[in-house]
Structure 1
Amino acid sequence: MDSVEYRPLQNEDIDALGAILGDIWHSYTEGRKRIVSGIIDLANFAQRNTFAEVAVAGGSPVGVIMARAGLPSKQTQERWSSVMQHACKKLDELGGSAADLARFFDAMKQADHDLLEQSASNPDFELVLFAVSDSTRGLGIGSTLMKHAQHYLANHGGSKAFILTDTDCSWEYYEHQGMKRVAERSFADDKDRILPERMFVYEMDLSVIER
């Protein structure tokens, strides 16, 4: 495999990252609709990041991590809100439904809020998004991205940080990394369920990170 570069996320990375997230969360659709749906996911998360890094191999991103220490800047929120609006319009043009994704995000936001309150985690330090392409898993790329985000959070005053995840994600990875589950909720019995079967809050210890 080509050498891997780790650098801040750039505008030209958006399509490739949309493809990665589309493969993870939108496998039920194909082609450009899958990528655009992944871009909408990316923009939804990115609106609250204060740190965003990609792993690049062969000239294309193969992984991404986002973290948040405190509140994102207004510029960050406006930038990614614009990306999201453009992608939603494109998805509708392709025959998808941006409104369905909006309903999902609204339900997810409320569930995340309730879970975070249940966990009693510090709301100021969050691992916002973490994804690696299937083709490069097991090569240590995810571990390196995770280490960089943990250093960022620790250097900005975090002693612990939380991540919101669910059964539609590779949540087991966080346990393998030594993170602790501090809250969970099941939606399996909900009528007309649109949320994942179970949702979790995991917490990482940043006090062991070298500053």
Structure 2
Amino acid sequence: MSGIEPIEFTDSVESVTFREFRRSDLRYLEDLLFDLWLDNILKNNTKITHDEDFAELSKVKGLIARDYLLIFLKHTSYSVTAVNSAGITCGYLLGRCTPRSQNSQRSGYRDATRNLTASLRQCLNVIPLKTNRYGRIYLEHRRDTLQALSRLERSVPAGCEGELILFAVREDLRGKGIGSRLIADFQDYLRRNGCGGYYLCADDYCNTGYYEKHGYMRVASTGVDYKDGRKGMRFHLYVRDL
């Protein structure tokens, strides 16, 4: 079952607050991440079937989503959450930019402290995953995913110093300007820090049509093959100038 409850949302984007990520946001972001990507990834890229009892998976789904989120959170220099008037998380964007000036030094220290904390939390989070069947399946998937992302990053053009790491908006709240505002604010942040362009890596479960519609150019792709011979997802590298 989804960890996200439907909510009524009829107002404009002005009713949503865009603020820096807080630790209290983590649970909502985990649910959003699992519903949008990880649930499909686990069920379609393993021998799991929809007829199976997913009780064992439900025991670790929170740990899986938290691990995936912490992997990327520890590399961010920019993290913004969109929250509606009821305090419910509507979307988020994690990104980074290579600092260009001394003005970035203070935020760099703060980011380093936060990222170290995320790294330590992730190490502790992995321990129970190793004791569960679905946790071990996920850890194999994570290894393959990180290898694919590493291959793609070799194709990032010189001078493309920004990265959109994770970006998501709840499916029932799309088309209301939330995603556009998250992207626009991130682009402003990149410009202020001297980044002339940025890149992102997207897999087959991402809405790649959204990026292509908004001026992103696909420059590389790579695939993941699993040990038992099955074909896995493909990952794609997109770049965009500012």
Shorter-chain TM-score: which interval? 0.7 to 0.9
**Alignment length, in residue pairs?**
204
RMSD of aligned Cα (Å): 2.6
**Shift of residue 13, structure 1, vs aligned partner:** 0.3
Taking the aligned partners of 1:35 and 1:170, their CA distance within structure 2 comes to 23
Which structure 2 segments of 5+ residues have no match? 1-8, 44-53, 100-107
Taking the aligned partners of 1:114 and 1:67, their CA distance within structure 2 comes to 19
Taking the aligned partners of 2:172 and 2:34, their CA distance within structure 1 comes to 14
SS of the residue 1:197 aligns to: strand
1:198 aligned to 2:241? no
Taking the aligned partners of 2:230 and 2:36, their CA distance within structure 1 comes to 17
**Shift of residue 102, structure 1, vs aligned partner:** 3.1
Contact 1:67 1:126 survives alignment (8 Å): yes
SS of the residue 2:215 aligns to: coil
The amino acid across from 2:241 in the alignment is D
Q: 1:124-163, aligned counterparts within 5 Å?
A: 124-163=161-200
Instruction: Give the corresponding residue for 1:38.
Output: 65
The amino acid across from 2:179 in the alignment is G
**Shift of residue 66, structure 1, vs aligned partner:** 0.9
Taking the aligned partners of 1:167 and 1:193, their CA distance within structure 2 comes to 19
Taking the aligned partners of 1:25 and 1:114, their CA distance within structure 2 comes to 21
Contact 1:65 1:130 survives alignment (8 Å): yes
Instruction: Give the corresponding residue for 1:180.
Output: 217
Greater CA drift, 164-173 or 103-112:
103-112
Contact 1:89 1:98 survives alignment (8 Å): no
- CA distance change for structure 1 residues 103 and 38 in 2, over 3 Å: closer, same or farther? same
Contact 2:156 2:199 survives alignment (8 Å): no
Taking the aligned partners of 1:131 and 1:96, their CA distance within structure 2 comes to 28
Aligned match for 1:24, one of 36, 40, 48 = 36
Which is higher, the Rg of structure 1 or of structure 2?
2
1:120 aligned to 2:157? yes
Instruction: Give the corresponding residue for 2:77.
Output: 50
TM-score normalised by length of structure 1: 0.84
**Shift of residue 195, structure 1, vs aligned partner:** 7.9
The amino acid across from 1:182 in the alignment is V
Which structure 1 segments of 5+ residues have no match? 207-211
Contact 1:108 1:195 survives alignment (8 Å): no
CA deviation vs aligned residue, 1:113-135 (integer Å, no higher than 9, x gap): 22122343546311111011122
**Shift of residue 138, structure 1, vs aligned partner:** 1.5
Aligned match for 2:114, one of 76, 79, 92 = 76
Instruction: Give the corresponding residue for 2:207.
Output: 170
SS of the residue 2:75 aligns to: coil
- CA distance change for structure 1 residues 96 and 56 in 2, over 3 Å: closer, same or farther? farther
